Structure 1
């Protein structure tokens, strides 16, 4: 299976390629991609240089243009498509219907993948995108079991890509409004979930307090690892329960499910983490490359190699086994 790895910076792209990524995904340094944070992403010139570096070493580069264009601002996304093709991208990752149509009409030779932000989670939806816009691969949302993925693959004629490590979005991806409710910045439109400018930490007698906008979302006891400050993994009171109502602040780690995903017909395994350092990227990619090669050779998979890199030093298989709340 193809290993698709994150690159938030040119240095991370080189690190991912050198560590054994089959493909790297990245985005431009603007709101056309869903990781629009200061200090991340690529200029058109940096993208072209990164693609040349990857291609020289046998790796592919996929460009994420996976936010939804603003009314009247479509030209920015159209330029990004043209720039991706000019730079030599192997594929673009798209979510918006209008942008998919524009790509199919004006850039017919540019391979199109459907972003997880489109939340296509059944054969009818996936076949619509494939038939209408020539989509060749779909990134499945993180709400499906392995059996559901197998059933989908029996009824479609496009490749499927699934997340196997990193941040676990517990919402219907592409539909989340929690972060924008708290900060006014939308993950789906502006590319920013829990923007750093709205996060405030304070040391208190009982530990570390984390706020997003006007909301306190975590109180971490002294000496304990603090989770990433997202509302969906925050602590809430619901009825008589107070705690992580949606999901614990842990990372997705589906390493041990790689053989099952292969049998389910999955084409590509995706690692989340464009906000992570190049050292993190290199270590995760090396570990998963070893796991993919072990699976292909019928050998036992490595055990627990990435636990210390997971959020809160804990992992979950998320919805794949439906142990998810």
Structure 2
């Protein structure tokens, strides 16, 4: 299985490649990708350098053009597709049909991967994208159980990639209406659930901290409690007489224990989330997954989950805790 890792800048790209990533996915420094944080992503020269670094080591670069443009600015996405082809990107990752259509018609030799934001969860949807836009791979949404992934691998007309580690999203991938409601900014095109300009921290007299998003109290942290970046879905709220994570606890997906089942199902690529994360995250997570995949490839029958692998991953997880998420549904 291919290991696909994130990079939000050139040092992270180098770290991913050096730690064993088979492919690295990146974005331009604009709204064509779903992680348009200030100071993140690549200009043309940086991406040219990154592609050269990867190709010199027989690795691949995938360019995320995975947001949904409005009709007035669609040409910017078309130009991004053209630039990806000019730079020699190995594939684009896209969801919007007009973007896929432009790539299919104008750059037929450049591989097209259907983004997780395409929300394709059935064989029929995958077949349509394959027949209409010539996709060569699809990234499955993080809402499917292991059994559903296994069935799709049997019926899909294209190879499938799944998220293996990183942040979860309980909403429609990248298009959260909670964040849009609170800030007036689309997480789709602005690339972040909580734009930094709306975030305010308050130091209180007892050394606790409040964090607000556009004036809305999202969480309150005690003096000795680690404080995560505020998002609406992972905030704590008063419900009746209790205050708790009413929507979702801060946690990260970790499917390492499912590696044998995913391999046996026919999954072709395991994807790590986190283009907004730093070099240490990329290096550690890529290194752990590289070891695990290689050990499974050498001896599937002898493969065992190592405790030190999970400990290393947990240290870089949200809230320092991990979950199998929808992959494990006892009621399915």
Give the TM-score normalised by structure 2: 0.93
1:199-231 superposed Cα distances (whole Å, 9 cap, x missing partner): 111222372212111211111222112223111
Q: Higher mean Cα deviation, 179-188 or 62-71?
A: 179-188
**How many matched pairs?**
324
Structure 1 position 289 matched with structure 2 position 296: no
Check conservation: 1:37, 1:192, Cα contact below 8 A.
yes
Give 2:306's match in structure 1, choosing from 291, 295, 302.
302
SS of residue in 2 equivalent to 1:259? helix
Residue 131 of structure 1: how far off its partner (Å): 1.1
Residue 138 of structure 1: how far off its partner (Å): 0.9
How far apart, CA to CA, are the structure 1 residues paired with 2:279 and 2:49? 17
How far apart, CA to CA, are the structure 2 residues paired with 1:239 and 1:295? 49
State the partner residue of 1:15. 15
State the partner residue of 1:236. 237
How far apart, CA to CA, are the structure 1 residues paired with 2:190 and 2:28? 13
State the partner residue of 1:224. 225
- Unpaired runs of 5+ residues, structure 1, are none
Structure 1 position 273 matched with structure 2 position 274: yes
Give 1:313's match in structure 2, choosing from 299, 309, 320.
320
How far apart, CA to CA, are the structure 2 residues paired with 1:62 and 1:87? 11
Check conservation: 2:36, 2:189, Cα contact below 8 A.
no
How far apart, CA to CA, are the structure 1 residues paired with 2:60 and 2:223? 43
1:34-64 superposed Cα distances (whole Å, 9 cap, x missing partner): 0001111011121111101001011100000
Structure 1 segment 59-138 matched on structure 2, within 5 A:
59-138=59-138
Task: Indicate how the Cα distance of structure 1 residues 287 and 277 shifts in structure 2: closer, same or farther if over 3 A, else same.
Answer: same
How far apart, CA to CA, are the structure 2 residues paired with 1:198 and 1:26? 25
How far apart, CA to CA, are the structure 2 residues paired with 1:109 and 1:277? 33
How far apart, CA to CA, are the structure 2 residues paired with 1:60 and 1:131? 25
How far apart, CA to CA, are the structure 1 residues paired with 2:327 and 2:93? 23
SS of residue in 1 equivalent to 2:191? coil
Q: Higher mean Cα deviation, 184-193 or 80-89?
A: 184-193
Structure 1 position 248 matched with structure 2 position 252: no
CA RMSD of aligned residues (A): 1.6
Residue 245 of structure 1: how far off its partner (Å): 2.2
Residue 323 of structure 1: how far off its partner (Å): 7.0
Give the TM-score normalised by structure 1: 0.95
State the partner residue of 1:173. 173
Check conservation: 1:136, 1:159, Cα contact below 8 A.
yes
Residue 237 of structure 1: how far off its partner (Å): 4.1
How far apart, CA to CA, are the structure 2 residues paired with 1:220 and 1:126? 44
How far apart, CA to CA, are the structure 2 residues paired with 1:81 and 1:18? 27
How far apart, CA to CA, are the structure 2 residues paired with 1:215 and 1:122? 38
State the partner residue of 1:25. 25
How far apart, CA to CA, are the structure 2 residues paired with 1:7 and 1:323? 34
How far apart, CA to CA, are the structure 1 residues paired with 2:240 and 2:143? 25
